[in-house]
Structure 1
């Protein structure tokens, strides 16, 4: 379905697409306001109970993809939700969130990028991620296209190594290291169609991946590190033609069958809970044996 959505989106004029998105956001804002007026505000304790019911426990390393509006009206806003996540993983756990400064096609973004400022460039991945990015003690990886933020005792390990990687999903990326660490991924109010970054780890984990997922041109941009040092890097980005063929949610039945994923709820948001290590192992096995990818979810 995501491939069809991308194709349809490519045919709609940008002005109409933006107007549709704004109407959708306005509808969500009205619904949240009505929830608040009805006294349905979610508290930290309620959210924490839901997160624990997802199987998240102290010491876990968890990557969170989320749509804040889907959770419902949260008392205290993004701060309350992030506090609940941090409390769930505890002092020995690690909380990770995507923080890409780009919400559209990577190719459009990189063509207009001169310098990525690790410390200052905001996340375009939603209100929760931008709040989390600005918290004291949060480390941000230094990929100009797919930076990840992390808080916890292993934050440096998760985020170091991303600088200078030509593609953002290599074995040195936070996405691959989450699998190595036996971490978990939460999709809260979103699905793989909305946030399939971890699926791309497969493409860098196997040799000679069979689809042209990367645009042929290699781009040169600068990264301004947290310490102020400016470093030139080479970057590859996704090929929009191949990206339009993604059918990410088509993989959900396979992941559920293999015990990689379970379904839950946080607040009012439908939530998917993934074992990151099993997810990668299943993706590699199914690709090598049956040709399964996000572009061919039933194999080829």
Structure 2
């Protein structure tokens, strides 16, 4: 189904996503009413995050699907409050606020204009809740913006509109790597990690170019409310056909490597799991994997058949 999704129109994909979200919410509410979910309190959540090593002053990039953990007492607001309290005034909390569903090239060529104050993220409820908070800032990028809160939030998101590659040099993702941020997965696993593309953009010997041939010119609205023309590469959907989020064999191989290297920390929480990695350790492991012929793409992953 995911492979099929790569090739269906973005407009249809959005409708299907909305229908799927609606049915997931119905299913969640029904199971909640029947008492089939664990209930997670604030203290349990905080203990879990701290036990992974996340502390005051750290920077964190969060990927999440809270419903997979069960019932969180206080919901997304409790999660955001707990994370900001753990990190303190000297830390930084960051979440992806991506705007595309599927084919980024088709999305940009539809004529959409990104406005950081108006364009809603498609990366889940937590991102949308976070974006509404005071002093949360958002990077200017039409497909892969980042939202941030904390001591260094402005510097983390600044200049994204000057990055031709959304995950490359000068991007929020590269900056989070440089400060050794935590990569935190709440209710989701490693398939959701967007910084894989930072590794691709920064690695001099990555075996192929994952982007389309030429960057796309697109208008965006900057933080001053003015229109700006920028250029950005988008990933080639043909080269993404057998990536780890689609190919279970690749995903299992990558996770096994992460576990054996000791970079991936795991905690059970409610009905699901929370994972964490330090970004610089993760990058080192990715470099070692590449030297052994292993990438997140099945056709460039030693020992994996398409």
* Aligned-CA RMSD value: 2.7
Count of residues in correspondence between the two structures: 294
Candidates 251, 260, 281, aligned match of 2:284: 281
The corresponding residue for 2:142 is: 144
**Residue segments in structure 1 that go unaligned for 5+ positions in a row:** none
| Cα distance in structure 2, aligned partners of 1:225 and 1:16 | 28
Within 5 Å, give how 1:252-263 maps onto structure 2: 252-263=255-266
CA deviation map 1:29-69 (0-9, x unaligned) = 43345436649543322322222222211111110000121
Instruction: Tell me, yes or no, if the aligned pair for 2:139 and 2:145 is still in contact at 8 Å.
Output: yes
TM-score (norm 2): 0.86
- Offset at residue 106 of structure 1 (A): 1.4
Instruction: Tell me, yes or no, if the aligned pair for 2:62 and 2:184 is still in contact at 8 Å.
Output: yes
Instruction: Tell me, yes or no, if the aligned pair for 2:5 and 2:13 is still in contact at 8 Å.
Output: no
Instruction: Tell me, yes or no, if the aligned pair for 2:138 and 2:146 is still in contact at 8 Å.
Output: yes
Going from structure 1 to structure 2, the CA distance change for 1:268 and 1:54 (only over 3 Å counts) comes to: farther
Find out whether 1:100 has 2:102 as its counterpart: no
Candidates 205, 213, 217, aligned match of 1:216: 213
- Offset at residue 12 of structure 1 (A): 8.1
Find out whether 1:235 has 2:232 as its counterpart: yes
Within 5 Å, give how 1:60-79 maps onto structure 2: 60-79=58-77
TM-score (norm 1): 0.87
The corresponding residue for 1:192 is: 190
- Offset at residue 202 of structure 1 (A): 1.5
**Residue segments in structure 2 that go unaligned for 5+ positions in a row:** 246-250
Helix, strand or coil at the partner of 1:238: coil
Helix, strand or coil at the partner of 1:151: strand
Instruction: Tell me, yes or no, if the aligned pair for 2:13 and 2:102 is still in contact at 8 Å.
Output: no
Helix, strand or coil at the partner of 2:265: strand
Q: Which moved more, 1:70-79 or 1:133-142?
A: 70-79
